[in-house]
Amino acid sequence: MDPRYEPLFTPWKVGNVEIKNRIVMLPMEGTNMIQWEAKTGFVKGIGEFYRDRKDQNIGLFIPGLIPLISIIGSKWVYKHPEVFEPVKPVIKEIHESGAKIFFQISAGSGRSMLLPPLLRPFVKKGPLKTLSSPLIASKWWWSAPDPDEPNVWDPEVKMDLFTGDMIKKFTHAFGETALRCKEAGTDGVEIHAVHEGYLLDQFTMPYTNHRQDEYGGSLENRLRFACEIVKEIKRVCGADYPVSLRYSVRSMTRGFNQGAVPGEEFTEVGRSMEESERAIRILEEAGYDMFNCDNGTYDAWFWAHPPVYAPLNINLEYVEHIKRFTSKPVVCAGRMQPGAAADSIAAGRIDAMGVGRQLLCDPEYVTKLREGREADVRPCIACHGACLPFNGLNGKGTDIDPMHIEMGRCVLNPWTNNETKYSNSPAKKPLKIAVIGGGIGGMETAIQASKRGHSVDLYEKSGRLGGVFNAAAAMSFKEKDRALLEWYARELEKSGARVHMNTEITDIDSLTADAVVIATGAHARTLGIPGAERAMTAEEFLNGEKEVGDRVAIIGGGLTGCEIAYELALRGKQPTVIEMTEHLVGARGICMANSSMLRELLRFHKVSAYLGSVCEAITDEGVVIRNKDGQRTVPADSVILSVGYSPDGRFAAFKDRKGRPNRENLYFVGDCDRVGSLKTVIKQAYELVQRLSYK
């Protein structure tokens, strides 16, 4: 073991429960161990999910989250103890590994509830309780402490009032549900939460609680609901049964759907650090045994779910500070790195490191750290592309339907939460496979095929692996993307696949193979406007092939264009974004935590943007645009085109009219098939190998 990490592998206690090390697997959406509505008690594959991780040196598991009342059907969970039965074997196996497990219990989302598009017209017309369909969720899921507060995802929706009678019923339900968890064998429970702006947190914060009863006004009143919950659990389950609280140290919120970025001076409308210092003492006195900490609300979602733009260890200094105001152990989450966590634990500034997405990306993460194999860790790149793909326009609605969304999965590791769908056993009939293209799609295909016993040759026409992802990883804040490229190169070398660099394949028939996989990627689009030749592509800029001046116009306000604008701002340039739609980073599939943080960073760095603007020409003076205000020239010394990609067409002759391969045993993977995302290319490669191996 690297001596730096030794503090991570020392025991500690939560109440009377001793935990073998200081690694806590955090609640991840999609890992809910209870399926209430179907009464099956077992989400498909969840047992396999935890079996992949139970022997991987994790000290404490906190699966999340268990709602007190089902979203569909309005059933109180504690009244159905039978749904806990199927998870008991998994709890037993976790205990046999020497780890402990707390179940996380939730009161609901309140104004943070994601609205299915089907329900929005009804909700906007009036209280949801007027609907009678059995498929409609309980009105309690659509209630908040203050009905005047708009829904986070759609500001036109007003919430119902969470009444005093409901508070009493929920407090009772927390105690009874915790008892069901204890009877199932859990070592404790966690309350979700005075955290992230969910229902309980909405009670605690000044900007979401304007009540005039005993649950509003003073800090003590605003914390009353959370305090009554832990007291009820202790009354029902016993004083020695541990209760953790998911806790946001600071709200980091400027206003409705307005988050503050790291380093920004702002007026806090939620929980300030000063109030947090008082709050954590009140919560400890009420009976909480642990505080599982980070920052943020749904209005500043990127603090609780930090994307690639967030600094590593983003919440550490805040959690270290709040640790001084409680005698109970604190856990810190948020892009935590093991070295920083170990140093803080050794100094007594925190008690444990919370890990979430990294354990979706690589189940063996902790074991690899302990065994000194850190270079073998598949790094999480904080993309949220499959673990939390809720996208929205921050107060302007969202087109995501939460009833048909995958969560708790991983862009880089399709196996995660698909353990019953895929196989990792040897191929039924090993094949000789040729892969053309050494980008992410080609490397993923070669690695996965080699693991299953196929004989693989990979051909890359250039002297560099990674394809267009090299440009994406070049930005200064993408250290984990660069680490991913290094990981792919090592895995490819270890796989046994034969890699032929600087080898361009133009004749497929020259290859001796049972299957040929084409993964040649895509090329940057240009614009058919006068002066387009004066511009450079995003790839040319990111790869360092061309330099820019001080004033830079970026044509295209999608993800890449806005990332380039942020990178230029960090370099001291003066970027301007020109976007034809009315939104920056408005594409589907981009998590709101990522898109909202990127927009807030552009605001903070005073990056100007012209929305709803069409580019008509590029001149020596800049970019001529037209929008609702007429025509004007945006001054620029340099122009960067970020208007998307087109599939590589070198092997287009091998596709039929519908874009399918026109010969047997020929396959297209990734952007050369259809331009997509990192998620689509890796999943496509992974599933192709599954078909070739087990058909």
* Residue 486 neighbours by CB under 8 Å, 6+ apart: 375
| Local structure of 611: helix, strand or coil | coil
Separation between Cα atoms, residue 174 and residue 37, nearest integer Å: 18
- Residue appearing with tokens 């952007």: 671
β-bridge partners, 627:
630
Which one from 78, 198, 318, 365 is the annotated catalytic residue?
198
| CB 215, CB 163: distance < 8 Å | no
Residue 46 CA: distances (Å) to CA of 69, 89, 107, 170: 21, 12, 22, 27
Angle (deg, nearest 10), helices 592-604 and 559-570: 40
Q: Which DSSP category does 315 fall into? A: T
Q: Are 110 and 199 in contact (CB under 8 A)?
A: yes
CB of 544 within 8 A of CB of 476? no
Radius of gyration of the chain (CA): 26
Name residue 14's beta-bridge partners.
Answer: 17
CB 412 within 8 A of CB 361: yes
Q: What is the CB neighbour count within 10 angstroms for residue 136?
A: 21
Q: What angle do CA 124, 126, 128 make, to 5 degrees?
A: 95
HEC readout, 493-516: HHHCCEEECCCCCCCHHHCCCCEE
Tally the C-alpha atoms within 13 A of residue 551's C-alpha that lie toward its C-beta. 9
Has 198 been annotated as catalytic? yes
**Residue 422 to residue 414: CA distance in whole angstroms:** 9
Q: Which spans in 326-395 are helix H? A: 338-346, 357-361, 365-370
Q: In this structure, are residues 612 and 526 in contact, taking their beta carbons and an 8 Å threshold? A: no
- Tokens representing residue 566 in the block: 């942020």
Contacts 24+ apart (CB under 8 A), 159-163: 159/110, 159/111, 160/127, 160/128, 160/129, 162/110, 162/199
Residues 358 and 487: their CA atoms lie apart, in Å, by 14
Instruction: Assess whether the previous peptide bond of 333 is cis (omega < 30° from 0).
Output: no
Name the nearest CA neighbour of 32 among 43, 40, 45, 24. Answer: 43
- From the CB of residue 209, how many other CB atoms can be counted at a distance below 10 Å? 20
Which of 532, 524, 581 is closest to 556 using CA atoms?
581
- The residues assigned a catalytic role are 198
